[in-house]
Amino acid sequence: MDLELYCPEKVVSAKTATSKMSRGNRVFLGTGCGEPQYLIRSMIENMSLQDMIVYQMLSSTLSEYIDDESFFRRFSLKLFFISSRMRRAAFEGKIDYIPTYLSQIPKLFDSQRIGLDVALVQVSPPDQFGYCSLGVSVDITKSGMRNSTLVIAQVNTLMPRTWGDSFVHVDDINYFVLHDEPIVEAPSEKKNEEINRRIGHYISQLVEDGATLQIGFGNLPNAVLKYLGNKRDIGIHTQVITDGFLPLLKKKVINNKQKTLIPGRVVASLCMGTRELYDYVDNNPLFYFRSSEFVNDPNVIARNKNLISISSALEVDLTGQVCTDSMGYMFYSGIGDQVDFIRGSSMSEGGFSIIALPSTAQDGQISRIVSHLSEGAGVANTRGDVNFVVTEYGIAEIQGKGIYRRVMELAQVAHPRFRDKLIEKAKKHHYIFADQLPPSKEDLLFLENYKSTFEVDNGKTLSFRPLLPSDEFSSRNFFYSLQEKTIYLRYFTKITLFPHADLQKQWAAVDYKKNMSIIGLAQKSGHKEIMAIGTYAAEGEGSSRAEVAFVVREDYQNKGVASYLIKTLEEIAKENNYTGFTAIVMAENVSMKKVFKKNYPNAVIKSEMGEIHLTMDFDE
pLDDT tens, 546-571?
A: 999 999 999 999 899 999 999 999 99
Backbone angles phi, psi at 65, to 5 degrees: -115, 10
Using 50, 70 and 90 to split pLDDT, how confident is the model at 491? confident
Calpha distance 238→243 (Å, rounded)? 14
Helix (H) or strand (E) holding 268: strand 266-268
Using 50, 70 and 90 to split pLDDT, how confident is the model at 576? very high
Calpha distance 91→99 (Å, rounded)? 15
Backbone angles phi, psi at 442, to 5 degrees: -80, 150
Calpha distance 457→436 (Å, rounded)? 39
pLDDT (average), residues 298-304: 97
Q: Are strands 611-617 and 580-586 parallel, antiparallel or unpaired?
A: antiparallel
pLDDT reported for residue 525: 61
Calpha distance 338→534 (Å, rounded)? 40
Which stretches of 2-128 are DSSP H helices? 3-6, 14-19, 37-45, 69-74, 87-91, 105-110
pLDDT digits (tens, 9 = 90+) for 125-146: 999 999 999 999 999 999 999 9
Closest CA to 83 of 110, 66, 63, 109: 63
pLDDT digits (tens, 9 = 90+) for 185-240: 988 777 788 999 999 999 999 999 999 999 988 888 888 899 999 999 999 999 99
Residue 253 vs residue 486, higher pLDDT: 253
Helix (H) or strand (E) holding 559: none
Calpha distance 511→440 (Å, rounded)? 8
pLDDT reported for residue 507: 77
DSSP label of 436: P
Helix (H) or strand (E) holding 370: strand 369-370
Which stretches of 152-296 are DSSP H helices? 193-206, 219-223, 246-250, 275-281, 292-295
Side chain identity at residue 580, one-letter code:
G
Distances (CA, A) of 575 to 182, 443, 446, 454, 565: 57, 18, 12, 21, 16
Q: Is the pLDDT of residue 508 over 80?
A: no
Which stretches of 458-537 are DSSP H helices? 472-481, 484-491, 500-508
Domains and CATH numbers, the chain: 3-178 (3.40.1080.10), 193-428 (3.40.1080.20), 445-617 (3.40.630.30)
Going by C-beta distance under 8 Å and a sequence separation of 6 or more, which residues neighbour residue 363?
none
Using 50, 70 and 90 to split pLDDT, how confident is the model at 620? low
Buried b (16+ CB within 10 A) or exposed e, 543-552: eebbbbbbbb
DSSP label of 227: G
Side chain identity at residue 531, one-letter code:
M
C-beta of residue 184 within 8 angstroms of C-beta of residue 153: no
Calpha distance 382→380 (Å, rounded)? 7
pLDDT reported for residue 438: 87
Q: In what order do the strands lie in the sheet with 150-155?
A: 95-97, 75-79, 52-56, 26-29, 118-123, 150-155, 175-178
C-beta of residue 325 within 8 angstroms of C-beta of residue 357: no
Side chain identity at residue 496, one-letter code:
T
> What pairs with residue 532 in β-bridges?
520, 552
Calpha distance 238→290 (Å, rounded)? 10
Per DSSP, the residues of 145-175 read HHT-SEEEEEE-TTS----BS-EEEGGG-SE
Question: Under the phi-then-psi rule, with left for phi > 0, alpha for psi from -120 to 50, and beta for the rest, what region is 83?
Answer: beta
Closest CA to 333 of 72, 58, 75, 136: 58
pLDDT reported for residue 487: 84
Going by C-beta distance under 8 Å and a sequence separation of 6 or more, which residues neighbour residue 148?
28, 116, 117, 118, 119
Angle CA(356)–CA(361)–CA(367) in degrees, nearest 5?
80
Which of 284-293, 491-500, 573-582, 606-615 is the least confident region?
Answer: 491-500
Question: What percent of the chain has a predicted confidence (pLDDT) above 90?
Answer: 78
Distances (CA, A) of 394 to 143, 356, 533, 602: 41, 10, 21, 40
Calpha distance 351→237 (Å, rounded)? 13
Calpha distance 59→30 (Å, rounded)? 9
Calpha distance 283→337 (Å, rounded)? 25
Closest CA to 466 of 477, 475, 455: 475
Closest CA to 404 of 431, 435, 372: 431
Mean residue pLDDT across the chain: 93
C-beta of residue 392 within 8 angstroms of C-beta of residue 199: yes
C-beta of residue 413 within 8 angstroms of C-beta of residue 359: yes
Going by C-beta distance under 8 Å and a sequence separation of 6 or more, which residues neighbour residue 590?
none
pLDDT reported for residue 223: 85
Q: Is the pLDDT of residue 459 over 80?
A: no
Calpha distance 26→388 (Å, rounded)? 41
Distances (CA, A) of 347 to 8, 236, 590: 51, 17, 49
Hey, how many other C-beta atoms are within 10 angstroms of the C-beta on 211? Answer: 22
Calpha distance 595→570 (Å, rounded)? 14
Q: Is the pLDDT of residue 327 over 80?
A: yes
Q: Are strands 580-586 and 516-524 parallel, antiparallel or unpaired?
A: unpaired
Calpha distance 476→388 (Å, rounded)? 22
pLDDT digits (tens, 9 = 90+) for 416-457: 999 999 999 999 999 999 988 888 888 888 999 999 999 987
Which of 31-40, 100-109, 583-592 is the least confident region?
Answer: 583-592
Q: Is the pLDDT of residue 34 over 90?
A: yes
Calpha distance 582→510 (Å, rounded)? 18
